[in-house]
Structure 1
Amino acid sequence: MNAEDNQSSFRLTSECGGFQFRPLVLVARACPVIVTVFLLFLTSAGCRFSASGKNALGAQLHQQGQYTAALQQFQQVVAEDPANPDGYYNLAATTHRLAKQRSDEALFNNAEALYNQCLDHDPNHVECHRGLAVLLMDTGRPDRSFALIKNWASRNPTQAEPRIELARLYEEVNQPETALKYLEDAVQQDANNSRAWLALARLRESSGDLPQALQNYQRALALNNTQPMIAERVAALSRQINSNLDAARSGAGTQIATPLPYSAPNRY
């Protein structure tokens, strides 16, 4: 669950979407053993398709503010597919949202347990790490929040995602210089990570380093050109930098543009 308004980034999966079923009768004639394996796979695939649909419906209900109905969908996901980490994450994120709304300690405990179940099934689940880190902050345990993400980073020394999340935590506790260090490390670890460049751009823009921020936004956009907010930010910063240059030539003061806000699903 994200810090801004604690809205979650739902994960909708279909693990067997590219599988094309062979005619069962032809397989049966070829090998009865293959039929058994095929039927087992078909059952598993059906569960995953069903889970994906319920995750999607639950996400839609959540976005409409129907949290109880969303919970019911996510509960069905984990009941039908107990190894589905996204089902546990969506269930945890919705429970976390309700816990904050109601200041309900029992719901906070339940959400924490569900986040941990998600991580049991996917130790590198990005959204779940973020959600659990926020919950630990919400419940007055900042040391454990930082320890969670630092341990994740230690287990994955070449991955950018843990460092992006660490940077965000440090930015939220008003330590932008430390956040900058982790983001610079993130783009060194993975120079093709659009989210890392976007996070770096945002932080540099908020500090007033507009030319460098513009370069970082442009790099993020080049790596993922399906982000209209970033394209808009590139255009806005270009205008702002040109305006500042014109103002400097005329002796007027410069202005700092409003930074790009966190986006709900992808955070940075």
Structure 2
Amino acid sequence: MRRRRLALCLLPWACTSDPTPPASKEAKASNEPAPVAAPTVPEAPSFAEHVAPLVYEHCTPCHHEGGSAPFAFESYDDVRDHAQQIAEVTRSGFMPPWLPAPGSGEFVGARRLSEVQRGTLARWVEQGAVAGELAQAPKPPPPATGWQLGEPDLVLRTGEPFMLPADGGDVYRNFVIPVPRDPPLRFVKAVEIRPGDPKVVHHGVLRVDLTGGVRLEDAEDPAPGFDGMVFAGAGMPDGRFLGWTPGKRPDPGSDARSFRLFGGSDLVLQLHLRPSGKVEPVTAEIGLHFSSRPPTMPALSMELSSGEIDLPPGATDVHVRDQYTVPTNVAVRSVYPHAHYLGKRIEAWAALPDGSKRSLVTIDDWDFDWQDEYRFVRPVRLPAGSTIHMDWSFDNSAHNPHNPSAPPRHVTYGSSSTDEMAELILEVEPDDPRSLPALDEDFRRHWLRGQLALQQRAVQQHPDDADAHANLGAFHQLLGQGQAAIAAYEQALRLDPDHVQANVELGIVMMGEGKLPRAVALLRRAAEVEPTNARTHLVLANALRKQGDDDGAIASYLEALALDEASAEAHNNLGIVLEQRGELPEAARHFQRASELQPHQPLFGKNLARVRSKLGGAPG
């Protein structure tokens, strides 16, 4: 049975991790400043003198009326009513909710109480929670209202509320928020996320989508947003991690570390929601602070991960690992470990070329409920040739208090919270910004090789599964391994001649090799099997255009747009065919629409400008 959580949240903004050492007895009695005595636990602590300042600083920012915590700590009576609980959770280390082990990294906003602070709380409770002179107690801080970073330059909202059911399991809801089209490009140096009701929002993560894919996901779900833990192709904007957890101060950022925000793109805010016992409307606001200039310190997000997760019931210490060697000098800005309920421990470190080891993060007692991003006070600098290691261990036994299954069941890799994942997301900056594209490509291939190995094992385990062979072909294709991709797709089609993915992807490979008749035949088969698939009609149109069949290409492009009017690629490619046929006004209309849908794509704008020039500058 899963351990019931104590509803208490001590969130210090800054506290000493250890008392200072005693001053030397040999200190000279001269004009030197008198040594400062090390802090000690008071002999007779009172609320007014000792506990109120501690609680108001470290607890009340969340424990206030309307805050994310379930009850307030704004008076002596509030704190006294929970005194025993406070002493227990702070003594055990369960609170404050801070997972990294001491010494594993120096992080911004570390939520730790010192031994003296914990001892003060414990002694106060042991001695009967004495009030003291309440008239002399400090006043509780007013709850933070408004935007913590000041008034944003732009506020975007999730729109119509999502109605969270009264009960049931956790919900991961993705809200799609369109970015205004004008201006076409801005630079964002800071983001502040404000959930409408922090009591039901466990945490939030923000991504950006440039493809329009999340709009399709949103359109298929009748309620606001769509469910799931994956982001439908959206990613971290220019490698920057953006998220919200209760009590966490937003990063003020800087002009140098800003990221690009394209007009017409979509923000995707994923909120982890927990039912409260009654139906709750869920909304959120996003405040954007702009920079007046482009960034000078670009970043890349790296995701070490492993799909080799196989946790039989009763297993107590199963390890999965990944590692990556950086080809250039980098600085690690932050780390974000991620696993689900069976995660037990993570250790991440870098092995440097000189043989030394540098810790990135260690969590000895993983807790899915308190996962967070950890931003270094000082970036961890790694020279080229350093190898970043990730080592996760899992506990699928009945002794794991977080295990959601009783009795334990067999668990493997998957995106559901009852499956398991093993990830470490790093935000890194290359010392030389010019090396970012090469670093991005090198890590992309590392990730693809890991996915390829995962698919090869899936094929070995399920040799008669056409999906497994088609997915294997996709990763061979992405790695540029054409013949291996063809073999995998051909095997998928032997198992299932109507497999749409295999027909479409093999058709693309055949187009690349100039085998257009075969490509067209494969793509026609896919369109017959699944006539409502807009992408199939788009790829078929591309093949027909290459084959010189303009009429067939135009018909297929129009079919693709009838199914997905927001396909910028279909509008652009149709415009190309129409331009070649001399139908310039109609070509300009489709180029215009492509530019509106994806204003960050310069090719669409160039095509539009070219046709307008031919038309004598008319808008078309």
Tell me which interval the TM-score lies in, with the shorter structure as reference length. 0.5 to 0.7
User: 1:206-241: per-residue Cα shift (whole Å, max 9, x none)?
Assistant: 222222111101112223333222123323433332
1:159 Cα offset (Å): 2.4
Matching of residue 197 in structure 1 with residue 571 in structure 2? yes
Instruction: State the TM-score, normalized to the length of structure 1.
Output: 0.57
Point out the structure with the larger strand share. Answer: 2
Task: Give matches, 1:21-36, under 5 Å.
Answer: 21=340, 23=367, 26-28=401-403, 32-33=406-407, 36=409
Aligned identity (percent) is: 19
Distance 2:585 2:472 in 1: 42
Contact 2:537 2:560 in 1 (8 A): yes
Contact 2:469 2:489 in 1 (8 A): no
**Which residue is 1:78 aligned to?**
455
Structure 1, unpaired ranges of 5+: 1-14, 51-56, 97-107, 246-268
CA-atom RMSD in angstroms: 4.4
1:70 Cα offset (Å): 9.6
Matching of residue 60 in structure 1 with residue 435 in structure 2? no
Distance 1:44 1:116 in 2: 31
Distance 2:519 2:443 in 1: 25
1:112 Cα offset (Å): 1.7
1:153 Cα offset (Å): 0.5
Distance 1:130 1:39 in 2: 30
Task: Give matches, 1:149-164, under 5 Å.
Answer: 149-164=523-538
Point out the structure with the larger helix share. Answer: 1
Distance 2:458 2:418 in 1: 11
Distance 2:512 2:606 in 1: 33
Correspondence for 2:481 among 95, 99, 102: 95
Kindly tell me: are residues 155 and 131 of structure 1, through their superposed partners in 2, closer, same or farther at Cα, counting changes over 3 Å?
Answer: closer
Contact 1:86 1:118 in 2 (8 A): no
Kindly tell me: are residues 75 and 192 of structure 1, through their superposed partners in 2, closer, same or farther at Cα, counting changes over 3 Å?
Answer: closer
Contact 1:89 1:118 in 2 (8 A): no
1:187 Cα offset (Å): 1.7
Q: The residue matched to 1:199 in structure 2 has which SS?
A: helix
Q: The residue matched to 1:192 in structure 2 has which SS?
A: coil
Q: The residue matched to 1:242 in structure 2 has which SS?
A: coil
Distance 2:485 2:412 in 1: 35
**Which residue is 2:113 aligned to?**
none
Correspondence for 2:608 among 234, 237, 241: 234
Distance 2:510 2:568 in 1: 27
**Which residue is 1:264 aligned to?**
none
Matching of residue 206 in structure 1 with residue 566 in structure 2? no
Q: The residue matched to 1:32 in structure 2 has which SS?
A: coil
Choose 1 or 2 for highest CA Rg.
2
Q: The residue matched to 2:615 in structure 1 has which SS?
A: helix
Kindly tell me: are residues 60 and 115 of structure 1, through their superposed partners in 2, closer, same or farther at Cα, counting changes over 3 Å?
Answer: farther
Distance 2:405 2:543 in 1: 56
1:31 Cα offset (Å): 5.1
Kindly tell me: are residues 32 and 43 of structure 1, through their superposed partners in 2, closer, same or farther at Cα, counting changes over 3 Å?
Answer: closer
Instruction: State the TM-score, normalized to the length of structure 2.
Output: 0.28
Question: Larger relative contact order (C-alpha < 8 A, sep ≥ 6)?
Answer: 1
Kindly tell me: are residues 43 and 95 of structure 1, through their superposed partners in 2, closer, same or farther at Cα, counting changes over 3 Å?
Answer: farther
Kindly tell me: are residues 239 and 142 of structure 1, through their superposed partners in 2, closer, same or farther at Cα, counting changes over 3 Å?
Answer: closer
Given residue 557 of structure 2, which amino acid in structure 1 is its aligned partner? L
Kindly tell me: are residues 222 and 149 of structure 1, through their superposed partners in 2, closer, same or farther at Cα, counting changes over 3 Å?
Answer: same
Kindly tell me: are residues 43 and 84 of structure 1, through their superposed partners in 2, closer, same or farther at Cα, counting changes over 3 Å?
Answer: farther
Distance 1:242 1:139 in 2: 39
**Paired positions, count:** 204
Task: Give matches, 1:249-260, under 5 Å.
Answer: none
Contact 1:88 1:117 in 2 (8 A): no
**Which residue is 1:170 aligned to?**
544
**Which residue is 1:112 aligned to?**
486
Contact 1:78 1:87 in 2 (8 A): yes
Distance 2:499 2:597 in 1: 26
Distance 1:39 1:132 in 2: 30
Task: Give matches, 1:205-224, under 5 Å.
Answer: 205-224=579-598
Contact 1:71 1:95 in 2 (8 A): no
